[in-house]
Amino acid sequence: MHLTTRRIMYPEGDSREIEHALSINQLVDINGFPLAHPLPSAKMIVYRVFRIATESLKGEDIVRYHLEQLWRDELEELVQ
């Protein structure tokens, strides 16, 4: 049996396990759930996936999604 573990890696160094795959440049909320465009408000904590790294171990792959936080001016461009 082969397991795949997915983790989001926050800019501060913290991490959290998630159950779904993400892609490069995808926007996610603080819990790692994808956000739809346009965003409802610029007053949100939003991250962008900027790097995906996979580590293969015996019986398990660990996929790490590295996140960068968007600034308010970037968010304002994405609002309705």
- Residues of the chain short of pLDDT 50, as ranges, are none
Rounded to two decimals, what is the model's pTM?
Answer: 0.91
Predicted confidence at residue 2, as pLDDT, reads 83
Q: Report which secondary-structure segment, H or E, holds 74.
A: helix 72-78
Q: Given this model, what pLDDT does residue 55 score?
A: 93
Is residue 15 a contact partner of residue 45, using CB atoms and an 8 Å limit? no
Range of the domain at 21: 3-78
CA distance readout (Å), 34 to 22, 23, 26: 8, 10, 7
pLDDT value for 23: 97
Number of domains in the chain: 1
Q: What pLDDT was estimated at residue 27?
A: 96
